[in-house]
Structure 1
Amino acid sequence: MLGQEYLPAESRTLPALLERAAEREPARVLARDEQRSLTCAEALELVARRAATLVDAGVGFGDRVAVLSENRLDVIELWLACAWLGAVIVPLNTALRGPQLEHVFADAEPTVLALESQLVERLDYVGNAPAQKWILGQDVPPPGEPVDRTVIGPGDPAVILYTSGTTGPSKGVLCPQAQWYWWAVKTGGILGVRSGDVLYTNLPLFHTNALNTFVQALVYDATFFIGPRFSASRFWPRIVDAEATVTYLLGTMVHILAKRDADPDELRHRVRIALAPATPAALYEPVRERFGIELVDGWGSTETNVVLSTAVDGAPAGSMGGITPGFDARVVDENDEEVSPGTPGELVVRSDDPFAFSLGYNRLPAATVEAWRNLWFHTGDRVVRDVDGWFWFVDRLKDSIRRRGENISSYEVEAVLTAHPDVAAAAVVPVPAVEGEDEVLAFVVPRFGAQPSPEGLMEFCEP
């Protein structure tokens, strides 16, 4: 769709995109997991009926529905049903527990919580969980009679995603309807997604990447396939079984796959290209030669969009790439003055199109103003722009931990550790991981007379 006319503003909502897909190709398989599939027409009917279930639960325009689940089509179904009503879905990281869940429930105030049975015990330590709880695959009320969709606009909230803060609790990012349209248009454009593609991801549905992949299928007349969490030993068989043509990875996943012994399925797949943020430059050519897959890097954040990409012609491997059409980016000093090429500074970004970025942070107006000061979003990334215009990552401006593609809040890990009855204080820092990015190192001060074991603390911190 890059280089073509964009849809009009009123069509840049999830319900409008679903209706468009059902009208264009009703029999096309829109979404699949390993248990079931939905055509465009089936998805449209099911969403209108599932919305009736939400209405019966008291969900309406602006209300929130939280989901605590591994990858399954039920999450997409609930997301679209919420959008049908103008409600907001809140997908929760399945690693959250105790204090983190209490914070999210207090901040988002969901009317309903849908979760998987194996995660129910997580609520034993949470005092403010929603009264209405649905166990996915067990006691979710059946779909009702189809309801008319609520009139919504491209700027109405569709999702709240909680990003990891480094100095405090996670912030809820308000992502509007049109942000997902622009995510899909821009990401699908740099990947060359086309009609008939099968877009396979095993990244979690509580992050932007996987949700964006589904909307790419809506926009580009493709099929979305959501797989289980990443397994190096089963990755290629799953890719082959899904008949995937495009996939979505993280740099650490690429590193792990490249280190493994040869697998017969690694040459039987149909994948031509993969979005693989944070992949080291040294892996691009080996991956192309061994697996026959072209890697593309892209920079974005929950608050923004795919602003930078190595799909821009001439971008060197290992860089952050150049600016994706429709966005702007600069490197600035502490006074927001643009610095000269080769000088490190903070990456700030903005969009040419309305609602391509988030609306700000839920219930945090001061943090929103601070992040968007001077009409640029301040990313917190220290980068360099070279004389040819390519961007290169240096580090984060603030302390942060990034492990296997996840931003980890040291504050929140420390909060869990200090909740242990034998711990008086804790500090968490990043250390280099063998496969790239970070590993988590915790320093613990025991309470007087206590001797907590590392194994016991690890078990206490497990989801």
Structure 2
Amino acid sequence: MLIGQDAVLTGHDAVLTGSGWAERDIPLTVPALLRRRAEQRGDAPLLRVGPVRLSYRQTAERAAGMAGALAARGIRAGDRVAALCGNRIELLELFLGCAWLGAVVVPLNTALRGASLRDPLHRARANALLVERTMCDEALAVAGPLPLWVLDADAAAPDPASAGLIEAAPIEAAPIEAAPIEPAPVAPGDTVAILFTSGTTGPSRGVCCPHGQLVQWGRTVGRALELTPDDVLHTNLPLFHTNALNAFLQAVVAGASFSLGTRFSASRFFTDAADAGATVTYLLGAMVNMVMSGPPSPADRAHRVTKALAPASPENLCVPFAERFGVRLVDGFGTTETNLVLGTGVGHARPGSLGQVVDGFTARVVDERGRDAPDGQPGELLVRTALPYGFASGYWDDPEHTAERFRDGWFHTGDRVVRDGDGWFRFVDRIKDVIRRRGENISSYEVEQVLLRHPGVSEAAVFAVPSELAEDEVMAVLVPTPDNHLDLAEVAAHCTRELPYFAVPRYLELADALPKTPTGKVRKHHLRLTGVTPQTWDRHPAGRRSQHTDSALSTHQSEGRSQRPESEAT
């Protein structure tokens, strides 16, 4: 039975073995788990963030002290504390302090500005905002009366003039540890974090992540990566993203160590991992391309990393990546709302596949009418879990969207996949990214994979633009490999050799970088809005677009590709 803070999965006591913690009764709340590990691991290292080094015992003490500091500021169980700051020890301490107190942390994307920052901040109805001094002006412009807790308060004070008409926001120094308090009686189903999704296809929504879900993430991914207490997990993905936050929980569940970097750098990726003493690291699909695009270096093998969780790894790079860096890529499928529901495991990769269903989960592939699709036929992926509190509880203050996505006992992912006869799943596309041309459905993912096999292409994004035939045309934006001058006609010829005629892109365009979220996801909605520009190469130069289509496309032509925002992950 699951009751209160000490709720556990029933089973035997923990035993430290050569392969990790052999226990089935892991507490399903963050403070209970941290306390147990502090008792078991004591002075063993847990956290490394910049110059800060903390043991398990010290981390638990910091959590209790931060909870005391938050309580002294008037924060109570259920209150929400937002954060606008990079990967810093203070953000992890805020997360742990909120978890200890029964409050909710709301880490926000540091790239947000203006309305895109105001919307999630106000929708979360936060009680306070922890903000880095360098981001204080942006916060002041939208915070209204919300108290701002400023990090690095000893730096120059914010300029009131930069805040425009906003004068009501009280500015205070960020809270520091106070007298420790006992953990609140939180339950596994209580929300511990609200994570706003990237909004690549529409407005971002706050996913309510309960304590139990984050602990279960730590278990499922830890098993897939075969983590042991000897491992050092290193990530430089942002903490407002589920991947990085869950990596911390993976370390705690496994009794391992966790190292947090500041931001992703393709050129320094393995140098940073080596500096951290990492044995495990984390990549997103686009980042695999970026790291592989760099020139060979002695740093390629001067590290201890043997495996990396790398969802959406490019099929053509899995083997070359392992050969060059000595690192096996572990693929899988999970979303902020779910968990690791599909996975490959270490040493069981099948390039191009998401993996098989992970224990504790069920998956279906359904057609447009909700019927089970036969093996080999694409359809939407639906998933559910038998693990207690294994999924998010819904979307913050959005019952309609919650009911739409979590319906009939299944979470509707919006991803189009194929289940092969042997139970392995392959990603086809986001359902919203499927392109309809010449009466055929085209997977933008499959076209991208063909483009990425061209030796001169480092990154590719494929999307639909309007056609004069009331359907879609296929457009691709390409980032060349370093020092490569792509011949777009030759790229089109390459596609003609590799793709059916209806899937060959009509429009091609070069870019220095693709617009991405700070977690490396391509902002395809931005590309679709921009559409065809004067710099776009047309495979049919005579052109067959009607005046109506030209007019629709020209709305965004003046922006030009040079104004695309660069990814914070680059």
User: What's the secondary structure of 2:335's corresponding residue?
Assistant: coil
The match for 2:281 is 247
Q: 1:147 aligns with which of 157, 176, 181?
A: 181
Corresponding residue number in structure 1 for 2:156? none
Q: Which residue of 1 aligns with 2:299?
A: 265
Tell me the alpha carbon deviations over residues 77-118 of structure 1, each in whole angstroms, 9 at most, x when there is no partner.
Answer: 100000111100001011111112111122111111001111
State how far apart, in whole Å, the 2-side matches of 1:273 and 1:308 are.
17
User: Given the alignment of the two structures, is residue 443 of structure 1 paired with residue 530 of structure 2, yes or no?
Assistant: yes
| Deviation by residue 1:164-186 (Cα, 9 ceiling, x = unmatched) | 34664211100000101110100
Instruction: Work out the percentage of aligned pairs sharing the same amino acid.
Output: 46
Q: Of 331, 334, 358, which aligns to 1:300? A: 334
State the AA in 1 paired with 2:44: R
- Say whether the 8 Å CA contact 2:200–2:522 is kept in structure 1: no
Q: Please, what TM-score do these two structures have when normalized by structure 2?
A: 0.71
> Superposed, which structure 2 residues align to 1:362-441 within 5 Å?
362-399=396-433, 431-434=476-479, 438=522, 440-441=526-527
User: Structure 1-normalised TM-score?
Assistant: 0.87
Is 1:194–2:224 an aligned residue pair?
A: no
Matched residue, 2:25: 7
Moved more, 136-145 or 372-381: 136-145
Q: Distance in 2 between matches of 1:350 and 1:460?
A: 36
Q: Alignment length, in residue pairs?
A: 434
**Correspondence for 2:539:** none
- The letter for the 2-side match of 1:81 is G
Q: Which structure 2 segments of 5+ residues have no match?
A: 1-18, 154-172, 435-443, 449-460, 464-473, 481-513, 515-520, 532-550
1:80-99 map, 5 Å? 80-99=96-115
Superposed, 1:41-440 pairs within 5 Å as 41-126=57-142, 128-129=143-144, 131-138=146-153, 139-165=173-199, 168-311=202-345, 316-399=350-433, 431-434=476-479, 438=522, 440=526
Look up the match of 2:38: 22
Is the 1:191–1:311 contact (alpha carbons within 8 Å) kept by the matching residues of 2? yes
Stretches of structure 1 lacking an aligned partner (at least 5 in a row): 411-428
CA RMSD of aligned residues (A): 3.0
- State the shift of 1:380 in Å: 0.1
Return the offset for 1:131: 2.3
Cα deviations by residue, 1:188-226 (Å, 9 ceiling, x for unpaired)? 110111012110001110001000010111111111000
Q: Conserved in 2, the CA contact under 8 Å of 1:303 and 1:360?
A: yes
- Preserved CA contact (<8 Å) 1:29 1:223: yes
Structure 2 CA distance for aligned equivalents of residues 280 and 65 of structure 1: 37
> Contact conserved, 1:332 with 1:346, CA < 8 A, in 2?
yes
Cα deviation 1:236-279 (Å, max 9, x = unaligned):
22111111000001122111221211221221100110011111
Read off the aligned partner of 2:41 and give its amino acid letter: E
- Shift in Å at residue 5 of structure 1? 4.1
Q: Distance in 2 between matches of 1:314 and 1:106?
A: 45
Structure possessing the higher radius of gyration over alpha carbons? 2
Structure 1 residue 433 displacement after superposition: 4.3
Give the whole-Å Cα distance in 2 for the aligned partners of 1:457 and 1:149: 48
**Residues 110 and 130 of structure 1 are in contact (CA less than 8 Å); yes or no, is this contact kept in structure 2?**
no
Structure number with higher relative contact order (C-alpha < 8 Å, ≥ 6 residues apart) = 1
Structure 1 SS opposite 2:219: helix
How many angstroms does 1:38 deviate by?
1.1
